Amino acid sequence: MHFDMNNLEMPKHLSLLAEKAQAATDFVANDVSISSAAMPRRSFLKAATASGFALGAYPMLASAQEATPAKSAALKPTQQPSAFVHIDKDGTVTVTINRLDFGQGVQTGLPMILAEELDADWARVKSVHGSNNPAYVDPAFGIHLTGGSGSIRNSYTQYRELGARTRAMLVNAAAVQWNVDASTLRTQSGNVIGPGGKKLSYGDLAEAAMQQPVPEKVTLKDPQDFRIIGKPTGRIDASAKSSGTQNYGIDVRLPGMLTAVVAHPPVFGGRLASLDDSAAKAVKGVKAVLRVPLDRGGEGVAVVADGYWAAKLGREALKIVWDSSAVDKTDSAKQLVSYQALAKKTGTLKYNDDVSKIAAAPHKISAEFVFPYLAHAPMEPLNCTVAVTGDKAELWLGTQMPGFDGMAASKVLGVPPQNVKINVQMAGGGFGRRAIPTSDYVVEACTIAKAAYTAGLNAPVRTLWSREDDIKGGYYRPMTVHRADIGFNAQGEIAGWDHVIVSQSILMGTLFESMLVKDGIDGTSVEGMREPYELPMRLSVHHPKVNVPVLWWRSVGSTHTAFVMETLIDEIATATKQDPVAYRFKLMGDKHPRHKAALQMAVDKSGYGKKKLAPGRAWGVAVHESFQSVVAYVVEASVKNGTPKLHSVTAGVHCNLAVNPKSVEAQVQGAALMGLSMCLPGAAITLKDGAVEQSNFGDFVVPRITDMPQMAVHIVPSADAPTGIGEPGLPALAPAFANAVAKLTGKRLRELPFKLA
């Protein structure tokens, strides 16, 4: 399937989503006002008193505006400048972004795109988050979504057109004021330039421009004329983040606000057998102790207090006996044995190529790979603040799916959907954990707020998870086992590749099942298999049901499929005495020019095959495509006293046009570090008797600054419309590292995190 934004092909596991999302979009659009856009409190107060350009429609501002923002009935809400652009009298341009920024830089990248076509003065551009307003849905998928590395990719044309429409309205306003033909005018750095060099600033034209009709069709710039897009640009939020003044969802403070923490059952779906809350209620500052229903049929206890510390002390004082008799108790060791048994059997077929020639092949590989559960562990733990007033509700949180969360809140609170406003906040990471089909922590927060109100606490309630809550409380990247049987000859020609994957489905049982589960196979579990190599593969899948909540984790299925494919391809190259880079090029044949370009870039820039390595070091290579972008790594690694060490990483990146090369570099660096985290001993979630054994960074390992290798990121030049970059930098790092270790030790690594013993 293709969509109409520069004919870019969607990621395979998301392609059906756009096809079926329109019904959901129509439902939301019919039930939710489209005149709202979320603003931080200080920005709202400023906007409410400004007489500037009201291209930015806020329902609370209606009485303060002198006129209604111009709109076009023929354009969708996602195409109307009124929801996205606000220009003050001093010329400051505030761009509303239709995504969550949780470190990936869209708070800068999307304004860059709009400002380019607007011809804005970049020094005067700011940005704010949007809301669950239907204007802020992903224009390709039709739902509110930050995910699938689609923020820049899917909104590239959208934000260019928004900027061009706003520019046209400003030009038309100037033409009316000067009584000249609009075609004789031009724009430059926030000004309209007229005959004889006279000029009017965008701030001067703001009020008049909002009266102009919104053009339906606009002409976009030739990329060779870009002055903002494609230039390395510092992030708008860099100063706030580096100075510690950036506010996140966890920093929301409202008058009279209370804070809640929850005692969750140690086993998923567990319930209360008995509760003694007398000591908790005696803690100073505790206002209420509430029994509340939780995600997956579980039950918990919420302690509501004046602040976090009082709530935490109250929770510690609870005396609870849990009942988990009605739910399965997962044990990682037993689970692995059952998965290994399943991997020896053919499952539901994804590919069914003829692999009968494996038996007669002169060379064979039989390999089993094991990947553990992984926690998302964002630096900012989960949180959600809820305020209910009559039949209206307002929520503050960093969310990747504000539309879904708003509908969930409506259902729990009993408030009409159109009366629920989600104020999207900057988030301190997420990696998928803030995009939950069940809206688990949002439902939890709303349930507590409702129960608190019923208990007589008429105040906003912030529900806050601790680090331990986050690591023990789900959701996780699924535990997965792969089994491969491969036959090949001395030239590395593959006679057959028989492959089985055993992994929980992320999507079965969710509202995405009908869209993304096909013929019994969750598309996220097999993405990246076989590609980009031409080879005969029989691929089958088992999706066991386990009492552990699972979810996408940065780069989703590619977290394990890339490791399997790239280490096995490397192993065949070594077995047939071929250079691993040359062998990959040979298997790609005449196809996959972007893979080849990315790999060649990494090879050339690293000095692979030419530079002499220090004693005890080896090269490692891997290349993988995810979310329509290709990232190749050439790494240098060593092994000392049985411990692998990653010294340097050279990346070749093909993401088409890099809107902000600085953000691309930062995203690849961060993704590579997260990929490294999968390799480190201790980087696994394990369960015993149904309970997660890890609780904090003392026993769930993440890389420290001493683990970070030297990194160089090189982008393949392209003028084609951009593809995703938030996730593609992760998958190829672990296999490149593993391939280097294998050259040093002679042992192929089949498990993450690495086990050399």
Residues 6+ apart with CB under 8 A from 4: none
- Helices vs strands, H then E, count in the chain: 18, 30
pLDDT at 2: 29
- Tokens 């609370």 correspond to 60
Which run of H or of E encompasses 650? strand 643-654
Task: Write out residues in the chain with pLDDT < 50, as ranges.
Answer: 1-67
Q: Please measure the distance between the N-terminal and C-terminal CA atoms of the chain and give it in whole angstroms.
A: 46
How far apart (Å, rounded) are the C-alpha atoms in residues 393 and 131? Answer: 13
pLDDT at 10: 43
How far apart (Å, rounded) are the C-alpha atoms in residues 94 and 79? Answer: 17
Query: Could you tell me whether strands 521-522 and 537-542 are parallel, antiparallel, or unpaired per DSSP bridges?
Result: unpaired
Instruction: Identify which of 216, 183, 261 has the alpha carbon closest to the alpha carbon of residue 72.
Output: 216
| Tens digit of each residue's pLDDT (9 = 90 or more) over 95-121 | 999 999 999 999 999 999 999 999 999
| Tens digit of each residue's pLDDT (9 = 90 or more) over 534-589 | 899 999 999 999 999 999 999 999 999 999 999 999 999 999 999 999 999 999 99
Query: How would DSSP label each residue in 281-321?
Result: HTSTTEEEEEEEE-GGG-EEEEEEESSHHHHHHHHHH-EEE
Per residue, the 3-state secondary structure of 556-591, as one string, reads CCHHHHHHHHHHHHHHHHHHCCCCHHHHHHHHHCCC
Two domains, one topology: 249-325+382-464 and 344-374+475-745:
yes
pLDDT at 15: 45
How far apart (Å, rounded) are the C-alpha atoms in residues 741 and 618? Answer: 7
pLDDT at 205: 98
Q: Where are the domains of the chain?
A: 12-234, 249-325+382-464, 344-374+475-745
3-state SS class at 373: strand
pLDDT at 670: 97
Architecture field, domain 344-374+475-745: 2-Layer Sandwich (3.30)
Query: Could you tell me whether strands 93-97 and 125-129 are parallel, antiparallel, or unpaired per DSSP bridges?
Result: parallel
pLDDT at 511: 86
How far apart (Å, rounded) are the C-alpha atoms in residues 76 and 71? Answer: 10
pLDDT at 69: 84
DSSP secondary structure code for residue 2 in this structure: B
Instruction: Identify which of 559, 676, 553, 569 has the alpha carbon closest to the alpha carbon of residue 622.
Output: 569
CATH number, domain 249-325+382-464: 3.30.365.10
Number of Cα atoms under 13 Å in the Cβ half of residue 316: 8
Residues 6+ apart with CB under 8 A from 617: 636, 637, 638, 647, 740, 744
Query: Could you tell me whether strands 643-654 and 710-715 are parallel, antiparallel, or unpaired per DSSP bridges?
Result: parallel
pLDDT at 757: 77
pLDDT at 402: 98
pLDDT at 60: 27
User: Which residues sit opposite 494 in a β-bridge?
Assistant: 488
pLDDT at 57: 28
CATH number, domain 12-234: 3.30.365.10
Q: How long a stretch of residues is the chain?
A: 757
| Amino acid occupying residue 13 | H
Torsion sign, CA atoms 654, 655, 659, 661 = negative
pLDDT at 48: 28
Query: Could you tell me whether strands 374-375 and 392-397 are parallel, antiparallel, or unpaired per DSSP bridges?
Result: unpaired
| Amino acid occupying residue 362 | P
Which run of H or of E encompasses 395? strand 392-397
